[in-house]
Amino acid sequence: MAEALRVGIAGLGTVGASVARVLRDKAAELTRQCGRDIVVTAVSARDPKRDRGIDLSAAKWFDDPVELAEKADIDVFVELIGGDDGPARLSVKAALEAGRHVVTANKALLAKHGVALAEIAEKKGVLLNYEAAVAGGIPVIKTMREAMAGNAVTRVFGILNGTCNYILTRMEAEGISFDACLKDAQRLGYAEADPTFDIEGHDTAHKLSILTSLAFGTKIAANDIYMEGISNITQADIRAAGDLGYRIKLLGVAQRTDSGIEQRVHPTMVPTASVIAQVHGVTNAVAIETDILGELLLSGPGAGGNATASAVIGDIADIAKSRPGFQHAPVFGWPAKELKPYKKARMRSHAGGYFIRLTVHDRTGVFAAIAKRMADNDISLESIVQQAAGPETQAQKTVILVTHETTEAAVRKAVEGIIKDGHLTDKAQVIRIERAE
Ligand SMILES: NC(=O)c1ccc[n+]([C@@H]2O[C@H](COP(=O)([O-])OP(=O)(O)OC[C@H]3O[C@@H](n4cnc5c(N)ncnc54)[C@H](OP(=O)(O)O)[C@@H]3O)[C@@H](O)[C@H]2O)c1
């Protein structure tokens, strides 16, 4: 049998401790599958005394993950610390430069430094595997990187943040407010104490930037993502969406257009009958559309110790099975040096249908003025409905419009005009509609 694969794990929190536990519990199966043992020989975390629910005394302890990456007797460095810089970046860089394979679950790090790290990995002829960084346990990286050669991707989109999907699912199922759902999500451990990163779309954006690079062979451009979170979504939106045959999801979407590539993260209306609309709670899903394959949808657990560990261990097992001298798949599907600069499509050129909810003064002429602003901007309407805004607001009415395909620029101009007309009593709500099968 080949020599054991020696693994060093930096970060022994939710994911790191699960990885160590599963490697121990599944040791015999992994040895049979990989043809060699996989042994954790070194570990690092902040607190050496913390009980992590697993005996790691056989592994050498390092206070400094960079020292582990450089000096430990390991073949693979597994980074599960987190953060887009600091010890995570320094230790991953050090491991790659020392010619060690790296496995990471760190989307923030890859979104910021992925291309630079990929260049080092490819120069050194080692693997940089990161299946757990996007959609947790769902094997979307391998699918896009290795199983879709020759396919030209036209669009990739997904539910990439379990916290947001959990909140939107409960808002719809139970009719409760965003704030109440968020508090519950925090109590149940689905949302962080500071949830901004999740609910305002940053986490989805990091993951989307990686998928965009894999889909289109472009350099990662995490700073070029249009981003809106879900904190403005109200029960009125959820109910109106349901009445119109839609469900609201926070989607990350990357799409090739005539003027470049769109990368956007925002609340989106998808048809209730579509497959992605059936993805509930903390579950994640990624849809990939290509010229040869058509549409593929992968869905499954996007976070949590075991689900994430499953992806990390798959990456480690791939390294255990790889043979010296064998050419590895490039980190982002194309050799890092061949990744093209990202050409951004302007958000104002985005074409699609729109849902617009307006709360207006209940007076004559408002309805007609709104319709005129739409017509002036060449926006054709699929429907326009006027409703009472609720018993406590008799002086107001709600107008809900659904447009046929138009542009972001036209919608923004029309809404600006309606605001100027002075008919609104509240902020206009605009939600993009996404085509989905
Ligand atoms: N949790 C998930 O469901 C999930 C899903 C997908 C991807 N990920 C990614 O996986 C990574 C780890 O997430 P997690 O949830 O496991 O985080 P976590 O529970 O906060 O664990 C972080 C670990 O890193 C250690 N650490 C922090 N600073 C360190 C330093 N300077 N030197 C050495 N160790 C240090 C901590 O040590 P102490 O324990 O001693 O404090 C802790 O063990 C992140 O990149 C995250 O984005 C997580």
Residue 141: name the closest of 332, 295, 2, 4 by CA.
Answer: 332
| C-alpha 11 – ligand 1 centre gap (Å) | 5
pLDDT < 50 regions, the chain: none
Residue whose structure tokens are 């693997």: 127
Structural contact between residues 410 and 379, judged by C-beta atoms closer than 8 angstroms = yes
Tell me which of 50, 207, 308, 315 to substitute to probe ligand 1's pocket, judged by most ligand atoms within 8 Å of the beta carbon.
308
| C-alpha 66 – ligand 1 centre gap (Å) | 15
| C-alpha 389 – ligand 1 centre gap (Å) | 47
Per-residue confidence (pLDDT) for residue 196, from 0 to 100: 94
Q: In ligand 1, which atom is closest to the CA atom of 136?
A: 6
Tell me which of 22, 67, 81, 109 to substitute to probe ligand 1's pocket, judged by most ligand atoms within 8 Å of the beta carbon.
81
| C-alpha 97 – ligand 1 centre gap (Å) | 22
Name the catalytic one among 93, 112, 207, 249.
Answer: 207
Tell me which of 18, 46, 49 to substitute to probe ligand 1's pocket, judged by most ligand atoms within 8 Å of the beta carbon.
46
Q: In ligand 1, which atom is closest to the CA atom of 81?
A: 24
For the question of residue 344 being annotated catalytic, the response is no
pLDDT in tens, 195-210: 999 999 999 999 999 9
- The C-alpha atoms of residue 354 and residue 395 are separated, in whole angstroms, by 26
Structural contact between residues 38 and 25, judged by C-beta atoms closer than 8 angstroms = no
Per-residue confidence (pLDDT) for residue 2, from 0 to 100: 87
Vertex 40: Cα angle to 34 and 46 (nearest 5): 145
- Strand duo 351-361 + 283-290: pairing: unpaired
| C-alpha 17 – ligand 1 centre gap (Å) | 9
**H or E element: which one contains 260?**
strand 260-271
CA nearest ligand 1 atom 41, residue = 46
DSSP 80-129: -S--SSHHHHHHHHHHHHTT-EEEE--HHHHHHHHHHHHHHHHHHT--EE
Which residues in 152-198 belong to E strands, given as ranges?
153-159
Three-state DSSP state, 226: strand
Per-residue confidence (pLDDT) for residue 193, from 0 to 100: 80
Q: In ligand 1, which atom is closest to the CA atom of 303?
A: 3
Per-residue confidence (pLDDT) for residue 188, from 0 to 100: 87
| C-alpha 192 – ligand 1 centre gap (Å) | 13
Q: Is the dihedral of CA 88, 89, 95, 101 positive or negative?
A: positive
Q: pTM of the full predicted structure?
A: 0.96
Per-residue confidence (pLDDT) for residue 328, from 0 to 100: 82
Per-residue confidence (pLDDT) for residue 391, from 0 to 100: 57
Tell me which of 9, 12, 15, 192 to substitute to probe ligand 1's pocket, judged by most ligand atoms within 8 Å of the beta carbon.
15
Q: In ligand 1, which atom is closest to the CA atom of 311?
A: 6
Structural contact between residues 50 and 343, judged by C-beta atoms closer than 8 angstroms = no
Q: In ligand 1, which atom is closest to the CA atom of 16?
A: 16
**Taking CB atoms and a 6 Å cutoff, what residues make up the pocket around ligand 1?**
10-16, 44-47, 50, 65, 80-82, 87, 105-107, 132, 136, 303-304, 308
Per-residue confidence (pLDDT) for residue 291, from 0 to 100: 96
Per-residue confidence (pLDDT) for residue 387, from 0 to 100: 84
Distance of CA 424 to the CA centre of its chain: 34
Q: In ligand 1, which atom is closest to the CA atom of 45?
A: 34
- The C-alpha atoms of residue 264 and residue 201 are separated, in whole angstroms, by 10
